[in-house]
């Protein structure tokens, strides 16, 4: 009999364990039956390696043993037999009646049922068909199990055990397991529950232990003593794990396996226990070698893409060289493609087709291992966040296949891929003479956006009605500006603001860099990072721990905007409902605030939703009404 633990147990130990498991005979698990009659189900918990743990882990394991004896005859030696399909379905159905368990766990439970059946057959053989010396003897059907084992099944079971081939296999396995060099000493606890117990006793935040650490712990007796041979293996594992590269450790042979230097069974990880396999433990995805036809098709596609890119590059160079010869605009001083420093840098975004022009402004995120929506960026592209749009109808150089965003106006506040040779540092280029001190605040190139037409009126005209601050900065603002100038933020450093779940209903982080601070100092249009940080600070300073948390709630601007409403309105509605339901138990009427970006030059409006009165308040710094933003009204109403 091949043991299902990953260590070689001694024959007597295995026999005793099996006997302890089933010695009560026909147990009916009354606690489970009573709970089921009341309509109650037990919660099931899983380890980081997807193994059953407490609470209720051992209960489910025992219940599976009870079910497999009820529904599967002992005469079936092949657990994969199609004839067992009905019995397996009954076992899974009974488990779901008494435990809250996901469908994805069915494979684990059925495999455990197979293990329990093998254990039951071994118990019957050792208990009733063998003498003290291990020789097979004649035996009657045990009446203790007459309800689940018929006379015919018992006769067939005994006949198989008398087979000479079975005797050879049995003798071989008994000799192999008779004198283990490192005996397992934890009985039915198993590696998963042993690991759970150790982590709890150590009050560790870890979710898993190295294989050799767990292997050693499983061989410590009740007196706490460690056999010298076990300690030597552990010490060698510690030494080897520090010398091997991490990539080499996670291969088909673990550190423990190398030190023990014994043959391994395929499909298991030594020192981890039942159901843990190399593919699941090391997270190595299975790869399929492509056929010759698929390789040739891929090469043909790549060759066509390379040719097209070469043509595009040639056209771009011709257009750029022609325009640079007569260009007297602000880009005439740009003679070569700049190299961006590591970190986050303000930038201007250009397109070369159909004409070479600036289409927006944002920030280039030049960090190692940067991904765009969890996917690697194509060669020659950089990750860019769009803050300001100057050409709303311009096509993105790399359309976002996740949100189906293709136009610049839909990319405000989101990340896109941009060709690196079309990204330039953001330099301050005044569009009109700056005012003298004491007569207003100088405006930078973002005033181009203010000249764009917005629904209702032009921002330039509306700006006359918006009060402006004095040319003399406040003492607080000057101190803040001085503090930032003397910090490493001015040299490219960033600050990460961790926003907990209480503020917007979801936990996330915002990155604050030099350009975000300049939005405050220069009175520029504010980005999402600045707005979210301000709301977080207001919540943390004035609201946290007070009744105000029940009266006022905020909705993240990054999750409800024009682009998302247009592309996936159902998802946006679900986001709103989830946010409302998160505070649904509060008896105090709640007011929800949503900062909504119109997508027109980055203009923000404030939407306040009073759920108790089913009233929505719309606050806009520009004159007009909600009809300018029909998509927002439709979503909120729904």
**DSSP letters spanning 463-499:** GGGS----SSPPHHHHHHHHHHHTSGGGGT--EEEEE
Is residue 489 within 8 A of residue 517, CB to CB? The reply is yes
pLDDT at 318: 67
pLDDT at 61: 92
pLDDT at 369: 64
Beta strands in 412-491 (DSSP E): 415-419, 423-425
Is residue 14 within 8 A of residue 177, CB to CB? The reply is yes
pLDDT at 101: 93
pLDDT at 343: 80
Is residue 588 within 8 A of residue 547, CB to CB? The reply is yes
Note if the bond before 354 is cis, omega within 30 degrees: yes
Tokens of 19: 């006997």
Tokens of 378: 């194509």
Reduced to 3 states (helix: H, G, I; strand: E, B; else coil), residue 296 is: helix
CA distance 517 to 280: 46
Residues of the chain with pLDDT under 70: 1-28, 244-253, 282-290, 314, 316-339, 368-370, 373-374, 401-403, 427-476, 563, 566, 582-589, 598-602, 623-631, 634-635, 637-638
Phi, psi of 604 (to 5 degrees): -105, 145
CA torsion angle 276 281 283 287 (round to 10): -50
Bridge partners, 379 (sequence order) = none
CA distance 205 to 201: 11
CA distance 353 to 347: 19
pLDDT digits (tens, 9 = 90+) for 285-308: 445 566 777 777 877 887 788 777
pLDDT at 626: 58
pLDDT at 334: 35
pLDDT at 105: 92
pLDDT at 322: 57
pLDDT digits (tens, 9 = 90+) for 212-271: 899 999 999 888 888 899 999 889 888 887 776 554 444 556 788 888 887 777 777 888
Half-sphere exposure of 461 (CA within 13 A, CB side): 8
Instruction: Find all residues with CB under 8 Å of 591, minimum gap 6, and list them.
Output: 551, 552, 553, 608, 609, 610, 611
Half-sphere exposure of 217 (CA within 13 A, CB side): 20
Neighbours of 223 (CB within 10 A): 5
User: Distance from CA of residue 529 to its chain's centroid?
Assistant: 23
Reduced to 3 states (helix: H, G, I; strand: E, B; else coil), residue 53 is: strand
pLDDT at 497: 84
Neighbours of 61 (CB within 10 A): 20
pLDDT at 7: 41
Q: Where are the alpha helices (DSSP H) in 29-131?
A: 30-37, 57-71, 85-98, 106-128
Sign (positive or negative) of CA dihedral 317, 323, 325, 329 = negative
pLDDT at 102: 92
Instruction: Find all residues with CB under 8 Å of 399, minimum gap 6, and list them.
Output: 405, 406
Burial code of 271-305, b = ≥16 C-beta within 10 A, e = fewer? bbbbbbebeebeeeeeeeeeeeeeeeeeeeeeeee
């Amino acid at each position: 009999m091949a043991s299902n633990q990953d260590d070689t147990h001694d024959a007597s130990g295995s026999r005793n364990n099996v006997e302890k498991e089933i010695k009560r005979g026909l147990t009916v698990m009354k606690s489970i039956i009573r709970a089921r009659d009341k309509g109650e189900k037990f919660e099931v918990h899983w380890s980081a390696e997807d193994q059953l743990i407490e609470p209720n882990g051992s209960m489910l394991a025992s219940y599976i043993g009870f079910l497999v004896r009820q529904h599967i005859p002992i005469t079936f030696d092949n657990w994969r037999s199609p004839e067992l399909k009905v019995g397996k379905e009954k076992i899974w159905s009974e488990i779901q009646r008494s435990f809250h368990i996901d469908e994805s766990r069915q494979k684990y439970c059925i495999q455990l049922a197979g293990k329990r059946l093998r254990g039951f057959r071994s118990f019957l053989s050792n208990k009733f068909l063998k003498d003290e010396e291990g020789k097979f003897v004649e035996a009657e059907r045990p009446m203790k199990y007459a309800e689940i084992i018929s006379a015919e099944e018992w006769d067939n079971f005994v006949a198989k055990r008398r087979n000479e081939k079975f005797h050879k296999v049995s003798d071989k396995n008994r000799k192999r397991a008779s004198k283990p060099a490192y005996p397992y000493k934890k009985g039915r606890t198993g590696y998963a529950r042993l690991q759970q117990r150790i982590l709890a006793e150590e009050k560790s935040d870890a979710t898993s232990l190295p294989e050799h650490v767990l292997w050693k712990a499983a061989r410590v007796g009740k007196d706490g003593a460690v056999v010298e041979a076990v300690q030597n293996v552990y010490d060698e594992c510690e030494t080897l794990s520090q010398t091997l590269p991490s990539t080499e450790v996670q291969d088909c042979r673990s550190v423990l396996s190398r030190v023990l230097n014994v043959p391994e069974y395929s499909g298991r990880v030594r020192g981890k226990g039942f159901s843990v396999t190399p593919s699941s433990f090391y997270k190595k995805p299975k790869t399929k070698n492509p056929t010759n036809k698929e390789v040739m098709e891929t090469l043909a596609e790549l060759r066509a893409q390379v040719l097209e890119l070469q043509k595009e590059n040639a056209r771009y160079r011709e257009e750029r060289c022609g325009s640079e010869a007569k260009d007297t605009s602000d880009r005439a001083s740009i003679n070569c493609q700049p190299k961006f420093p590591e970190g986050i840098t303000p930038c201007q975004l250009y397109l070369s087709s159909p004409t070479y022009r600036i289409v927006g402004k944002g920030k280039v995120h030049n960090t190692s291992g940067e991904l765009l929506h969890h996917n690697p960026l194509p060669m020659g592209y950089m990750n860019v966040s769009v803050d300001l749009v100057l050409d709303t109808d311009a096509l993105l150089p790399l359309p976002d296949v996740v949100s189906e965003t293709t136009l610049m106006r839909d990319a405000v506040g989101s990340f896109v891929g941009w060709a690196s040779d079309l990204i330039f540092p953001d330099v301050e280029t005044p569009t009109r003479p700056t005012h003298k001190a004491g007569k207003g605040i100088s405006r930078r190139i973002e005033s181009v956006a203010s000249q764009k037409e917005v629904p209702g009126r032009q921002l330039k005209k509306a700006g006359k009605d918006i009060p402006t601050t004095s040319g003399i900065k406040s003492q607080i603002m000057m101190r803040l500006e001085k503090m930032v100038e003397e910090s490493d933020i001015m040299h490219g450093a960033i600050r990460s603001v961790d926003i907990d779940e209480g503020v917007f209903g979801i936990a996330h982080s915002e990155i604050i860099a030099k350009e975000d601070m300049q939005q405050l100092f220069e009175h520029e249009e504010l980005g999402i990072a600045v707005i979210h940080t301000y709301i977080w600070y207001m919540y943390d300073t004035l609201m946290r721990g007070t009744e105000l948390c029940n009266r006022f709630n905020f909705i993240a601007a990054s999750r409800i905007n024009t682009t998302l409403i247009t592309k996936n309105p159902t998802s946006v509605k679900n986001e709103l409902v989830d946010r409302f339901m998160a505070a649904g138990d509060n008896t105090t009427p709640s007011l929800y605030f949503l900062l909504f970006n119109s997508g027109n030059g980055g203009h923000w409006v404030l939407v306040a939703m009073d759920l108790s009165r089913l009233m929505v308040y719309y606050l806009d710094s520009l004159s007009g009404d909600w009809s300018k933003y029909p998509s927002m009204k439709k979503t909120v109403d729904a």
